[in-house]
Chains A and B, each alone.
Chain A
Amino acid sequence: MLYALCFLLFMIGLYCAVIKKNMVKIVIGIMVMEYAVNLFLIMLGYRFGGIAPIVDKGQLDLETGQIAAGFLNSSVDPLPQALVLTAIVISLGSLALMISICIRTYEKYGTFDITQIRRLKG
């Protein structure tokens, strides 16, 4: 059910990126799609009633180096969180590049409307 809502957000972002004519709105649509995918990744690792996956001193058994069984049974999955961190950094870089190309294109063409930026045809 929650996954379906996440997919709906993805579709809204895709619609916005495909249909809109203003360059900045296309960029916003792409960002909404990225948020939806990051949200989906985090929801994958969730466990109902779970605790944060941070090991504290009390949970580490000092003689054997094992982590307490209660922690392992109730913590959420930390791997999607690391994946999402990387994906957010990548989308930040791509957003910066897209916005700077939008600004430069506005300087050259004088408009943000993609139907009027059509010198390359054929």
Chain B
Amino acid sequence: MSVPLPAFVAIPLVTAFLLPVFAKRGKAIATVLANLATISLLVLAIASIGQSRVYEVGRWSIPLGINLVLDGLSSLMLLAISFVSAAAMLFSIRYMEQYTAKAKFLCLFLLMVAGMNGVVLSGDIFNLFVFLEIASLASYALVGFGCEHEELEASFKYMVLGTIASIFILFAVALVYGNTGSLNMAYISKAIQSSGLNRGLAFALGLFIVGFGLKAALVPFHAWLPDAHPSAPAPISAMLSGILIKTLGVYALARVVFNVFGISVSMGWLLIVLGLLSMVAGAFLAIGQWDFKRLLAYSSISQLGYVVLGIGLGGLIIARDGNLAWASLAILGGLFHMVNHAVYKSLLFLTSGSVQMSTGTRELREMGGLAEKLPVTRATCTIASASIAGIPPFSGFWSKLILVIAAIQAHFYWIAAIIVFVSLCTLIMYLKVQRYVFLGELPENLKEIKENRGSMLVAMVFLACLCVLMGLLLLVPGLRSSILEPAVKVLVDGVSYSANVIGM
């Protein structure tokens, strides 16, 4: 059945505006409505696997009107967004009892989901900017939700850097409009193919990379992430680290660089260098951290470096007219790692939230020996740590293996060595987490804590099962060819995106 594409944006938006009506009396109704919204988005996302179509809003044909495009990459991102947001919403039923104003939290959360769905589905570059701003503004407010000292400071820092990034992106959109005369991504792509990159368009490409790099927290631009992600409430940290930086940063960067401008050798090298810097700097900075969530935030920077490295490597091979099979393999590794990381990093943040709710602290030195007290949290955290460190049957191992094989096949042996080295650093940092949080001596003041019940457990177990089963996404040929390969094909095809959209 054919779901009308604006439903992905309309359902969370309408629910978000229904919720403040129930602010005082009906908190239970508000929670039920919000969960219904995220679960229905999940069902719709699963129902749209493998379809690709263009939806013209208001029945205005394409260069005059706005269109929404669903292709392979968009449906992969929609699946990731809906799984993580459904799990985080389930988790927040119990977790947000510690905060007041729960209806406002749910409203902002649903606005963020609506913005992210809009970014992923948009076919028009200004529409992408508008939805990016909706999601960003909702996330700035959510980071500072508790209104304590540290949260406000972190929210201000995040907000200033995020707004500067958005202004750069708007400036780049203005330059692109001035040089090509159209705002639709397919038409811009056609115009750039026929006329080439002049100085204005090259400057616009540079501004796009800075803007989207700030949103994705790649290494020269990562200064906001280690402060913002620990200070946010745990389900929001899971959403931010799990999908927001990927949708607003990596997806938008890939869409603009591969499909609109066309990949070139210098762009490929730039992406590879940014990816390597992020991997190495994130891993080194994470090992020395003593705050649980800050360590997870630095590890997010490092893992996102893997994704950008994979995409950049594939782009470099395409731009040099190399073997397309190698390029597809590198991009497959990058995209699969992105989806894997969404699942296990959000699971790690949810378990850290559960630990924080039970013990009241985030310092690793103050915890220890929680293995008997919090059995389910311990089991899911171990599964997630094993996945992120790359231990064989779990999902992280497969994506790192593909990246290493792709690097070796393309004769970039030094890149493969760096990937293996950073994986070892990741293993070290997660062994540190396991040792300090779950093994060791139980301190005196934590003898009476109990396991958390209810929806938090359901959410964590759900994501842990996904972690275990994601390896099947790669190994089973049917799932791979319907979910992962169309996404890879969209990026490998590059600028024939415009021919596909105009023809559909």
- Establish whether A and B are touching in the complex (CB under 8 Å): yes
Contact B153 A105 (CB under 8 A): yes
By the criterion of a CB under 8 Å from any partner CB, how many residues of chain A are at the interface? 33
Looking at the assembled complex, report how far the CB atom of B62 sits from the nearest CB atom of chain A, in whole angstroms: 15
Cβ-closest chain A residue relative to B177: A44
Q: How many A-B residue pairs have CB under 8 A?
A: 88
A23 is an interface residue with CB less than 8 A from chain B = yes
* Chain B residues in 8 Å Cβ range of A120: 150, 153-154, 226-227, 231
Contact B152 A105 (CB under 8 A): yes
Cβ-closest chain A residue relative to B158: A101
Contact B163 A80 (CB under 8 A): no
Cβ-closest chain A residue relative to B134: A90
By the criterion of a CB under 8 Å from any partner CB, how many residues of chain B are at the interface? 34
Knowing A26-B160, A30-B163, A97-B141, say if A122 contacts B174 (CB, 8 Å). Answer: no
Knowing A94-B137, A94-B163, say if A119 contacts B150 (CB, 8 Å). Answer: yes
Contact B164 A30 (CB under 8 A): yes
Contact A40 B156 (CB under 8 A): no
Knowing A93-B137, A94-B137, say if A30 contacts B149 (CB, 8 Å). Answer: no
Contact A122 B163 (CB under 8 A): no
Contact B152 A108 (CB under 8 A): yes
Knowing A119-B150, A120-B231, say if A105 contacts B160 (CB, 8 Å). Answer: no
B215 is an interface residue with CB less than 8 A from chain A = no
B178 is an interface residue with CB less than 8 A from chain A = yes
Looking at the assembled complex, report how far the CB atom of B130 sits from the nearest CB atom of chain A, in whole angstroms: 6
Knowing A104-B147, A105-B156, say if A90 contacts B294 (CB, 8 Å). Answer: no
Contact A102 B126 (CB under 8 A): no
Contact A122 B289 (CB under 8 A): yes
Looking at the assembled complex, report how far the CB atom of B154 sits from the nearest CB atom of chain A, in whole angstroms: 6
By a beta-carbon cutoff of 8 Å, the part of chain A in contact with chain B is 10, 14, 17, 23, 26, 30, 33-34, 37, 40-41, 44, 79-80, 83, 86-87, 90, 93-94, 97-98, 101-102, 104-105, 108-109, 117-120, 122
By a beta-carbon cutoff of 8 Å, the part of chain B in contact with chain A is 126, 130, 133, 137, 140-141, 144, 147-150, 152-156, 159-160, 163-164, 166-167, 170-171, 174, 177-178, 183, 226-227, 231, 289, 291, 294
